[in-house]
Amino acid sequence: MIDLHTHILPERWPDLCAKYGYPGWVSIEHCGACRARLWKDGRMFREIQSNCWDPAVRVADCDASGVRVQALSTVPVMFGYWAKAQDAADLAAFLNDHVAGVVQAFPDRFTGLGTVPMQDPRLAVRELERCVRELGMPGVQIGSHVNGRNLDDPAVVEVLEAAAALGACVFVHPWDMMAADRMPRHWFPWLVGMPAETALAVGSVCFGGVLERLPSLRIGFAHGGGAAPMTLGRWEHGFRERPDLCQTMTRESPRESIRRVWFDSLVHDPEALRLLLSVAGNGKVALGTDYPFPLGELSAGEVVRKAGWLDAEMRESILHGAAAAFLGERASRAVRAAGGAGDGRVPPHVDATA
């Protein structure tokens, strides 16, 4: 199995507030050997364990769950899009060098997706090129928006154009969720806001004509596209009934456009996976677990194992082939290594019916 959606952090990093001279940056406080806390603006953002930073722990977890390769990307709270661009670029370079180092140490087990300072397209493209050309990464992870600008904003599209030209993949992750003031309880920014963010991002590249204009762009979305698969019928209907509102930037309908993109499989429900596959098409849904976070798929491939109606070809595509196609040639060594696990087999000690 190839896991397209995992997060990693360095074990330590400098005091960024001191380094850059203003607050808002995330700090890490270790509590013993295996636990740490992330702090932001004086508030605890998240508690993490050593599987978030220790490659050896990750490899052991992967061996236990049958994952051959993880695509490593930073935690979205580290994007720094809100900050001075030069500082975000500096942090991105630090994080990307760290990821590249982990991949270099375990080239058969990891591949890396970089982060880039999206608030400044010129700096973002420069770091994207460095990720691909110097660090050997297959692509980058970006947020679902950039300081409120959606993915069809010209400044964002500039980076997507560069990615398409480079042959770099772009994995889109929800972050800085909309309408947080409406969601004070029940973890709703994660449970309602994130799916809405992702749908807005998918919708933006469809209705904004980005996919039509950049046919070679490989772009993928976390969490099975969030609300997008369930809403596609509504989008398609709106597109046809109100061309004055919906066809201003493209004539390609959302149902056509959405076939161009990839999604991860993180929907936690075989029936939702069925809808996602009907929307995305075979070959466009790739295993993603959100490892090592608790809202992720804690047993990698669980939703695929539950979807007993998947045939061998579809299962192989989700567990291996779709990610290999999305990541492309630059992930080739790791992906070749994963080939043997691409048949959907799980280690004998994993309950295949769980």
Contact residues for a copy of itself (CB under 8 A)? Answer: 145, 148, 150, 152, 178-179, 181-183, 185-188, 190-192, 195-196, 199-200, 203-204, 207-208, 223-224, 226-227, 229-238, 241-242, 245-246, 248-249, 267-269, 271-272, 274-275, 278-279, 294-295, 298, 303
**What helix, strand, coil percent values describe the chain, rounded to 5?**
50, 15, 35
- CB nearer to a copy of itself: give 59 or 249: 249
CB of 238 to a copy of itself, least distance (A): 5
CB 130 within 8 A of CB 167: no
Nearby residues of 83 by Cβ (< 8 Å), 6 or more positions away = 20, 22, 24, 25, 91, 119
- CB nearer to a copy of itself: give 162 or 205: 205
Q: What single-letter amino acid sits at 62?
A: C
Tokens encoding 3: 């896991």
CB of 296 to a copy of itself, least distance (A): 9
The candidate with the shortest Cα–Cα distance to 50, out of 59, 39, 41, is: 59
Q: What single-letter amino acid sits at 285?
A: V
CB of 174 to a copy of itself, least distance (A): 11
CB of 202 to a copy of itself, least distance (A): 9
CB of 163 to a copy of itself, least distance (A): 22
- CB nearer to a copy of itself: give 90 or 152: 152
- CB nearer to a copy of itself: give 233 or 340: 233
- CB nearer to a copy of itself: give 131 or 202: 202
- Which residues are bridge partners to 139 per DSSP? 113, 169
Pairing of strands 43-49, 69-73: unpaired
- CB nearer to a copy of itself: give 19 or 182: 182
CB of 220 to a copy of itself, least distance (A): 17
- CB nearer to a copy of itself: give 170 or 266: 266
CB of 119 to a copy of itself, least distance (A): 16
- CB nearer to a copy of itself: give 105 or 295: 295
CB 57 within 8 A of CB 51: yes
- CB nearer to a copy of itself: give 41 or 241: 241
CA gap 193, 221 in Å, rounded: 15
Return the half-sphere exposure (C-beta side, CA atoms, 13 A cut-off) of residue 151.
29
CB 265 within 8 A of CB 296: no
CB of 317 to a copy of itself, least distance (A): 18
Residue 17's Cβ-count burial label (10 Å; 0-12, 13-18, 19+) is middle
Q: What single-letter amino acid sits at 247?
A: Q
CB 248 within 8 A of CB 218: no
Three-class DSSP category at 221? strand
Tokens encoding 164: 């398409």
CA distances to 40, 66, 222, 260 from 235, rounded to whole Å, are 37, 37, 19, 16
